[in-house]
Structure 1
Amino acid sequence: MTSTTAETVPGAHMAAEIAAQPGVFRGLLAHRAEIAAVAAQIARRRPRFVLFAARGSSDHGALYAKYLTEVLLQLPAGLVSPSTTTLYGAQPDLTDVLWVSVSQSGGSPDLVEATESARKRGALTVAVTNTPDSPLNQVTELSVDIGAGKELAVAATKTYSATLLALYLLIDAVRGGTAEHAANIGDLADSALTLAEPAVAEAVQRYRFANRVVTTGRGYSSATAAEAALKLAETSYLSARAYSGADLLHGPVAAVDSETAVLAITSAGKGGAAMREVLEVVQGRGADICAVGSAADEVAAAFRIGVPATAEELSPVLEILPVQRLALGLALARGGDPDNPRGLNKVTKTR
C-alpha cells in the first residue's frame, strides 16, 4: 500500500492554493516598488484611456481593473474583444492608449496576437501575468509579475486573487498612491479564511443539492460575482449565471424563484449599499440568498458569510476567498475533483 499523495486526494491542490493566498499577498507587497516603477512609466505617458484584454478568470480581473481605472484614475476604460483583431482584422488607431493584457499563463495565442497588434498601432502595452517569460511578456513594452508561484489545480484561485492585488497596486501607483489600504492585506486574508470556515462548511451542506445558482454584486464586486459563477460551474458543474445587481432587476429576476440559490456579494461601500434594494426584491421572489462580504449582515439573506472590512476598492481581493472555499467544498460534496474538472485544461488556447 503506497502512501496517499496530493495527486490522489481530490481537491488537495486547490485547497493548498487557497490557503497560500495570504502569503502570496505579502510577497506581492514586498515587490511593490517594482510595480510602482512600471506605474511611473505609464503615468509619464499620460494615456487618454485604457483597454484591458483577457480571458476566463483573468477577464474578471480585468473587469475589476476597469472599475479601478474609471473610479481611481478618472479615465475611461473598456474590455476589448481580441477576436476583432484575430478573426476580423480590425486595426483601430491606438495612439496614446494604455493596453493592459491580463493572463495568468501569458500563453493564449489570441491575446498575444491582439497585444502585439495593439503595440504596432501605437498603444503602450503592459502584460500582467504569473509567467514572466511567457509569449505575452515578450511582445509587451512593460510587464507586472503577480508572483503567485506555480498553480497546479485547474481552477484558478491564488493566481486570480494575486492578479486583483497586482492590478490594484499598479493602478494605485499610477495615481500616486502608496498602497496604504493594502498594507495589512495578508493578515486580513488570514482572517477571512479562518473566520469564514464554519459558515462555509454549513453553506456546503445547505447548497450541495442546488441545481441553479445566480451570483450577483455591484460596483467592484461585479467582478467577484462573475468569478464566483465561473468557479461554481467549472468545479461543481452547477448551472451558475452572474448578473450585476442592476441588470438582475432588468429581466432576469423573473427567472428567480424558490428553487434558485442566490450568492450575493455585499461588501461595505457604495456597491454593497446598492445591493440592499436588489436583494429585497430577490427575497420577495422566494430565493434562498447567501450573502458574502463585509456587509453581509446588512442585507436581506437567509444565510451569511462574513469577510473582514477593508477599503471598498480592495474588497474583491478578500471576498473571493470564502467563495473559493465554497466552490471547493461543493465540488467535493457532489463527488467531483476540482483539481481535475472534466473537459478542462490549465491553459486554454483560443484564437
Structure 2
Amino acid sequence: MSEATAQPGARMTAEIAEQPHVFGELLAHRAEIAEVATRIAERRPRFALLAARGSSDHAALYAKYLIEVLLQLPVGLVSPSTTTLYGARPDLTDVLLLSVSQSGGSPDLLEVTEAGRKAGATTVAVTNTAESPLNRAAEMSVGIRAGQEQAVAATKTYSATLLALYLLVDAVRGGNAEHARALPELARTTLDTTEQAVAEAVHRYRFADRMVTTGRGYSLATACEAALKLAETSYLSARAYSGADLLHGPVAAVDAETAVLALCSAGKGGASTREVLEAVHERGADICAIGSAAADVPAAHRIGVPDCAEELAPVLEVLPVQRLALGLALERGGDPDNPRGLKKVTRTR
C-alpha cells in the first residue's frame, strides 16, 4: 500500500493483527534465547539493571517484575542521563545490564551499554534489529523477531519484547517456556473476541478529555504503555499510576468526569486492584476494565481477555489496549500512523 493511498491507521491495524504470528516465530527460536540465558545463569549476577526509553521502558518495567519475582534478584531501572550527562561510572562487576530498545539505535542506551560493559557488567541487548549499534556494543543479544514495524506507535515490537524478556528470564531460572507456548493461539482469540467490546469502548470514550490508567504487579507495565499509546495516538491527557499510588493522593483528582482504564488480570495483582477500583468507583469515575479478571471488578465497561499465567498476562492484555488507542485516534479524526512530532528513536542530547 502506497503512502498516497494508505488509509489512516492502516499500518497500525495490520501490525496489531500480526502479533499472533510474531509470537509463534519468537517461540520457534526460543533455543537461541535459552543459550543467552545459560551464559547469564553461569555468571550468577548479584543484581540486574535495566536501561530503556519510551515503550521499551515499560517493557523494562515488566522485566523488573519478572526478575524480582521469578529470579529473586534485586533490580534497578537505569537513568541514562547519569551516564550521558553526568559521566557516572559505577562499578558494575557481577551485574546484569539489560538494554532494551526496539530499534537498537538510541544513542543514550548505546552509551550506557558501552560504559556498563567497560565497568564489568554482563551486557545483553534486547532489540528488533540484529545489526543495530546496540547489539554490537553488548556482549550478548536477544532478538525479538517482530519484523519491520512501519507504524510510528509501537505495537508488535512492544508485545514481542515482553515475550522475549519472559522467555529469557524463564530460561535463566531453568524453565522451558511451558506457560508461553499457547500464547499465539491465545493472542488470536484475544483479537477475535475483544473486537466488539473495544469498538463499544471507542464509542463510549471518544469524547474523553483525560484518562487515568492503573494496574498492579505485572499489569502496571500495561497501564504505563496504555497511557503512552493514548497520549501519542489520540492526544489524550493520560496518566498512569500503580493502584497503590493512585490511592495515595491522586485519587482526590478522580471524579465523574474522569475515565479510568484499569488492567485487571487474574492473579495477585488483579485481586489487589479490586479495592482500588471500588474507591475510584465511589468517586463516580467511568471505569473500563481490561483483563482476564475484568468481570470481577466494578466497571462501567469490560473487555475480557483469556486467562493465562499471571506473569504472561501483559502480553495479552495490551492487545485490546492497542486497538482502543487505534480506534480512539481514528474516531477523533487523527492518523495513528503519523502522530504529530513522534519519532522512533529517543535522543536526549
Q: TM-score range by the shorter chain?
A: over 0.9
Alpha-carbon shift at residue 63 of structure 1 (Å): 0.1
Superposition pairs for residues 169-180 of structure 1, below 5 Å? 169-180=167-178
Alpha-carbon shift at residue 316 of structure 1 (Å): 0.2
Partner of 1:47, secondary structure, is: coil
2:59 — aligned with what? 61
Cα distance in 2 between the residues matched to 1:89 and 1:170: 30
Partner of 1:51, secondary structure, is: strand
Runs of 4+ in 1 over 4 A off after TM superposition: 3-7
2:165 — aligned with what? 167
2:210 — aligned with what? 212
1:195 — aligned with what? 193
2:335 matches 1:337: yes
Partner of 2:217, secondary structure, is: coil
2:98 — aligned with what? 100
CA deviations 1:183-209 (Å, max 9, x no partner) are: 110000000011000000000000000
CA deviations 1:273-304 (Å, max 9, x no partner) are: 00010000000010000000000000111110
Provide TM-score, normalisation by structure 1.
Answer: 0.98
2:132 — aligned with what? 134
- Matching residue's letter, 2:320: P
Cα distance in 2 between the residues matched to 1:115 and 1:82: 10
Cα distance in 2 between the residues matched to 1:154 and 1:263: 23
Cα distance in 2 between the residues matched to 1:63 and 1:7: 38
1:230 — aligned with what? 228
2:48 matches 1:50: yes
Cα distance in 2 between the residues matched to 1:4 and 1:88: 45
Superposition pairs for residues 10-159 of structure 1, below 5 Å? 10-159=8-157
2:317 — aligned with what? 319
Superposition pairs for residues 276-287 of structure 1, below 5 Å? 276-287=274-285
CA deviations 1:311-344 (Å, max 9, x no partner) are: 0000000000000000000000000000000111
Provide structure 1 residue ranges, at least 5 long, that are not aligned to the other structure: none
CA contact (8 A) 1:6 1:12 kept: no
- Matching residue's letter, 1:186: P
Alpha-carbon shift at residue 78 of structure 1 (Å): 1.0
How many positions carry a matched residue from both structures? 349
Alpha-carbon shift at residue 130 of structure 1 (Å): 0.2
Alpha-carbon shift at residue 345 of structure 1 (Å): 1.9
Cα distance in 2 between the residues matched to 1:6 and 1:72: 48
Provide structure 2 residue ranges, at least 5 long, that are not aligned to the other structure: none
Change (3 A) 1:140 1:7: farther
Cα distance in 2 between the residues matched to 1:193 and 1:306: 11
Cα distance in 1 between the residues matched to 2:318 and 2:145: 18
Cα distance in 1 between the residues matched to 2:277 and 2:24: 35
Alpha-carbon shift at residue 227 of structure 1 (Å): 0.1
C-alpha RMSD over aligned residues: 1.0
CA deviations 1:145-201 (Å, max 9, x no partner) are: 000000000000000000000000000000000110001100000000110000000
Alpha-carbon shift at residue 347 of structure 1 (Å): 2.4
2:244 — aligned with what? 246
Partner of 1:43, secondary structure, is: helix
- Matching residue's letter, 1:249: L
1:261 — aligned with what? 259
Cα distance in 1 between the residues matched to 2:130 and 2:142: 8
2:188 matches 1:184: no
Cα distance in 1 between the residues matched to 2:58 and 2:274: 23
Cα distance in 2 between the residues matched to 1:54 and 1:5: 31
- Matching residue's letter, 2:96: L
Percentage of identical aligned residues: 77
82-91 vs 4-13, which moves further: 4-13
Cα distance in 1 between the residues matched to 2:290 and 2:124: 33
Cα distance in 1 between the residues matched to 2:214 and 2:126: 26
2:326 — aligned with what? 328
